[in-house]
Chains A and B, each alone.
Chain A
């Protein structure tokens, strides 16, 4: 049975946290935990979700949750899974919630190792496309053209000069049992992927786009709208990787305007028409490959 708002667990496991209003990351963590239930053991490395969830004595997780080292999300998950197994506890899910920097830059080695060993863990990367917790520095998942404090927009260089790392396909390239992409804008799609992943044995990786109003320069009420648009305009895609094959879950018949989507965000407002053309060209090249090679 698929997960819907109606059959989602009514308990709240992430409550009273100090995330900014309209935070996409906290929306992803809150709802993923509602799918996994009270026996989920959450690991959070340095990043927004650990900073806003554990302000002693204000402890906002209702289930077991622990802060790991920045680089060690996946290795701590490995340890938790092994520890529970050694104690004979079977009904639990070891789940990690790491940001984009904690996944694609700092934690990539531990994640790669865990996938290599095929440890029975679920790794969720909430991607807000920069180091938002420390004040918006570029990460490996910051997209081309985005303005951050370390990639400022000037006369000559217009924000980040490098494209976003393709973390979903990097995870898939390990021949991982299950990997998926999602966005907090299409919540039931994300929740069903979490549900599906929780039933698969081995390492699972879910990459969820979670807008940060502060870092993206959008109104706090627009988090959900903007994370739908990013899929509708083709700059992100909803896909899965399973049994060695990529599957595209949603193939938009027509893309909405990339320019309109980018210009709504403060971090892209400086982009010239040429910059936007570069972004559109890279989108089209990516979609050509997706539509040619992936199952639909």
Chain B
């Protein structure tokens, strides 16, 4: 479970809540555009030690089948995961426009 991207991106005035509360975990925009470099995981090398998952400020790394997987919709490309990876299974590659 985590906040997820909704289809809806615009609101009419009538829909804007009149009080200060709203549904939790409601995402309407990605953060992918922030990135100039992207981490790429070498699946062969990855041993699933979970350190990149533990230290990702955005929580975009999950572990599936004992391998790290990145959600590129929300990765900002900070590169903490590359630095933390002891077996150098993560490389930063330039984003292609």
Which A positions have Cβ atoms within 8 angstroms of B?
Answer: 5-6, 8, 10-24, 26-27, 30-31, 38, 56-65, 184, 187-188, 213, 219-225
Contact A15 B80 (CB under 8 A): no
In the complex, what distance in Å separates the CA atom of A26 from the CA atom of B29? 18
Contact B1 A24 (CB under 8 A): no
Q: Give the contacts of B26-55 with A (CB-CB under 8 A).
A: 26-31, 34-35, 49-51, 53-55
- Residues of chain B at interface, number, CB under 8 A: 38
Residues in chain B near residue A18, CB distance under 8 A? 31
Q: Kindly identify which residue among B29, B51, B58 contacts A15, using a CB–CB cutoff of 8 Å.
A: B58
Contact B57 A22 (CB under 8 A): yes
Contact A21 B1 (CB under 8 A): no
Contact B59 A12 (CB under 8 A): yes
Q: Kindly identify which residue among B11, B57, B74, B77 contacts A27, using a CB–CB cutoff of 8 Å.
A: B57
In the complex, what distance in Å separates the CA atom of A22 from the CA atom of B92? 14
| Chain A residue nearest to B77 in the complex (CB) | A21
Contact A56 B22 (CB under 8 A): yes
Closest 10 A/B residue pairs (Cβ): A221-B79, A12-B2, A22-B78, A62-B25, A21-B78, A5-B50, A21-B76, A27-B57, A16-B27, A5-B54
Known: A23-B57, A26-B57, A30-B59. A59 touches B25 (CB 8 A): yes
A-B contact pairs, 18 of them (CB 8 A): A5-B54, A10-B63, A11-B1, A11-B2, A12-B59, A16-B5, A21-B34, A21-B35, A21-B77, A22-B76, A31-B54, A56-B22, A58-B26, A59-B25, A59-B26, A59-B27, A60-B25, A65-B24
Residues in chain B near residue A10, CB distance under 8 A? 62-63
In the complex, what distance in Å separates the CA atom of A219 from the CA atom of B80? 10
In the complex, what distance in Å separates the CA atom of A187 from the CA atom of B57? 12
Against A, the Cβ 8 Å flags (1 = close, 0 = not) of B1-17 are 11101000001000000
Q: Kindly identify which residue among A20, A26, A61, A225 contacts B3, using a CB–CB cutoff of 8 Å.
A: A61
Residues in chain B near residue A187, CB distance under 8 A? 54-55
| Chain B residue nearest to A188 in the complex (CB) | B54
Known: A13-B2, A62-B3, A187-B55. A57 touches B34 (CB 8 A): no
Residues in chain B near residue A225, CB distance under 8 A? 83
| Chain A residue nearest to B74 in the complex (CB) | A16
Q: How far is the CB of B8 from chain A (nearest CB, A)?
A: 8
In the complex, what distance in Å separates the CA atom of A220 from the CA atom of B56? 12
Known: A16-B3, A18-B31, A30-B59. A57 touches B54 (CB 8 A): no
- Interface presence of B84 (CB below 8 A): yes
Contact B78 A60 (CB under 8 A): no
In the complex, what distance in Å separates the CA atom of A65 from the CA atom of B22? 10
Residues in chain A near residue B26, CB distance under 8 A? 57-59
Known: A21-B34, A31-B54, A62-B25. A220 touches B79 (CB 8 A): yes
Residues in chain A near residue B22, CB distance under 8 A? 56-57, 59
Known: A13-B2, A58-B29, A62-B2. A19 touches B57 (CB 8 A): yes
Contacts A15-B58, A58-B29, A220-B80 known; 19 new A-B pairs at CB < 8 A = A5-B53, A10-B63, A11-B1, A15-B27, A15-B74, A16-B27, A16-B29, A16-B58, A20-B76, A21-B78, A31-B54, A58-B28, A59-B25, A59-B27, A60-B25, A62-B2, A64-B24, A221-B78, A221-B83
